[in-house]
Structure 1
């Protein structure tokens, strides 16, 4: 089955260690070989600027990561094609895989809409407003202050609306989430789970999930062990529990997957790398119809792609 994965940190891993080869490195959870062999149809690649990068260097580092995306991910991968629209995805041929560039946190743009527009022109098709802490746009979920969107943050969301770009609320403060829900035309949570099942602050509570569904947004169920359960080692079946829960809230047509592969050090038992998506597919087919599974894996995110 085709797979649309809404979040990974391959680019960040290669930026940290330029010797890593995307083709088949054992240091990566996602490799080109695994994508080709395991049914990938669309993979999102995030630009994540770590906190230790000085503020004045963050935009330049974002450009470095975009160069990695094009030179070290796309160029040596014959079946990997950059996609920026829904038509681009639908036009992919057999074995071709769409690659989407995303931004995880607006730290790179400081308080400049020109920098944001530049990243969009270079191919960014989804923008997470924060990582876990504060920037010029909003507070992240771990910022004690818990503030919402700044005036500049509201300008950013309006620009994303004008450009038909996903506004990603994963990592955003609770107040920021609700501010985005008032403004964003294309909201998603690329890699977040249900807080009721696992009370990690990065997860979404029932009211947030229901609001995303009402706004016709998307939720990418993630494989991060700490977001799946609190008490024991996370296993593949814990992913199903979050899927069941979101479906029970009315989200059957609003959920997909955002693995967060290569953004995590610990992995869920049974989902240690991209090739293990096969195990997830087989597990899903035990509980859901083939039509539903196809929606979860690919069609829901495709149908909600805003361009």
Structure 2
């Protein structure tokens, strides 16, 4: 192939990137917008200058499915369970008030129907198993409320497991507790996805051994590119892939690059590393927008997602690759675990 033909081909790909982006089911597996509603009273229906996301921005960025994570501010909240259920209620109220544009799904078929109707499809995750407390039955209770993944820890360890922060900075490497083992089995039994982002490495390997379902890291990056405790080692990445799981790339610039100051090419660099290590079938996006992050240049908010599609195509990823990364890989896990 001569250089002129190559140039024409790349120009055509560039022209088609919006069509490819819009044809894909675009899924972000971690967004903290509901905390902004709790803390600042922002309205998802209106374009907010101080948030990374809202309904107008989701539409502009071609987002089809957003997983809204319920994060528990431990220093403010005494009752983690009560706070979590109130945030779930808040999410459902947001959807009810904007029902022509926004609807929550409970099943894979719901996801397909809602996205085909041109609405934003919402799913619910919990960031931190503290919400379960010591009550195993709360796994099923949260499932019945619409929750489809639970991150076993946030930065704090809990009755389930030790966190990455505690294992690394405080020398607490307890791993999964006996209660945590029961939680994993209950999540498998219930059809609740296990999220290992924020989980300590000892805890991680315990989960790998016990879980019979694929697991996800909803918002995590590559340790070998940036040795931060919140990132996944190559061995962890391979283990997630071997279980048929999923890793959503986090956009926080200090998880992408040690010194910060990341840009869109650094996001692609982490995606490249995952692809080189395990292939494209386990990669997705879990940006952590509205979670207090400083995003990379070129991906400042959810409206910029098409730029990532363009960057991947320019890097040589095929339409099929990009469609998997934008959402197909997570949908596979969701359908298998949740039905």
Unpaired runs of 5+ in structure 2? 1-20
Given that 2:77 and 2:83 are in contact with CA atoms closer than 8 Å, whether structure 1 keeps it comes out as: no
The one-character-per-residue Cα deviations of 1:138-188 (angstroms, maximum 9, x if unpaired) are 111111212211111111111110111110000000001001101221310
- For the residue of structure 1 that corresponds to 2:137, the secondary structure is helix
Deviation at 1:77, TM superposition (A): 4.7
Given that 1:128 and 1:169 are in contact with CA atoms closer than 8 Å, whether structure 2 keeps it comes out as: yes
Alignment partner, residue 319 of structure 2: 290
Given that 1:32 and 1:77 are in contact with CA atoms closer than 8 Å, whether structure 2 keeps it comes out as: no
Alignment partner, residue 30 of structure 1: 53
Does 1:83 find its partner at 2:111? no
Structure 1 runs of 4+ aligned residues shifted over 3 Å read: none
Aligned counterpart in structure 1 of residue 182 of structure 2, from 126, 131, 155: 155
Aligned residues: 305
The one-character-per-residue Cα deviations of 1:46-83 (angstroms, maximum 9, x if unpaired) are 0110121344x111111110111011245325221211
Alignment partner, residue 245 of structure 2: 217
TM-score (norm 1): 0.96
Supply the distance in 1 between the matched residues of 2:151 and 2:312 (Cα, whole angstroms). Answer: 28
Alignment partner, residue 70 of structure 1: 92
* Cα RMSD after superposing both structures: 1.3
Aligned counterpart in structure 1 of residue 119 of structure 2, from 96, 113, 129: 96
Aligned counterpart in structure 1 of residue 261 of structure 2, from 233, 254, 257: 233
Aligned counterpart in structure 2 of residue 243 of structure 1, from 264, 271, 281: 271
Supply the distance in 2 between the matched residues of 1:265 and 1:248 (Cα, whole angstroms). Answer: 27
Does 1:196 find its partner at 2:219? no
TM-score (norm 2): 0.87
Q: More displaced, 230-239 or 207-216?
A: 230-239
Supply the distance in 1 between the matched residues of 2:86 and 2:260 (Cα, whole angstroms). Answer: 39
Does 1:10 find its partner at 2:33? yes
Does 1:255 find its partner at 2:283? yes
Does 1:126 find its partner at 2:149? yes
Does 1:172 find its partner at 2:194? no
Computing the radius of gyration from Cα coordinates, the structure with the larger value is: 2
Deviation at 1:232, TM superposition (A): 4.7
Supply the distance in 2 between the matched residues of 1:74 and 1:142 (Cα, whole angstroms). Answer: 37
Supply the distance in 2 between the matched residues of 1:265 and 1:246 (Cα, whole angstroms). Answer: 22
- For the residue of structure 2 that corresponds to 1:153, the secondary structure is helix
- For the residue of structure 1 that corresponds to 2:164, the secondary structure is coil
Alignment partner, residue 39 of structure 1: 62
Supply the distance in 2 between the matched residues of 1:141 and 1:90 (Cα, whole angstroms). Answer: 35
Give the number of the structure whose residues are more often helix, by fraction: 2
Alignment partner, residue 3 of structure 2: none
Supply the distance in 1 between the matched residues of 2:52 and 2:134 (Cα, whole angstroms). Answer: 34
Q: More displaced, 270-279 or 32-41?
A: 32-41
Alignment partner, residue 71 of structure 2: 48
Supply the distance in 2 between the matched residues of 1:289 and 1:140 (Cα, whole angstroms). Answer: 37
Supply the distance in 2 between the matched residues of 1:224 and 1:189 (Cα, whole angstroms). Answer: 15
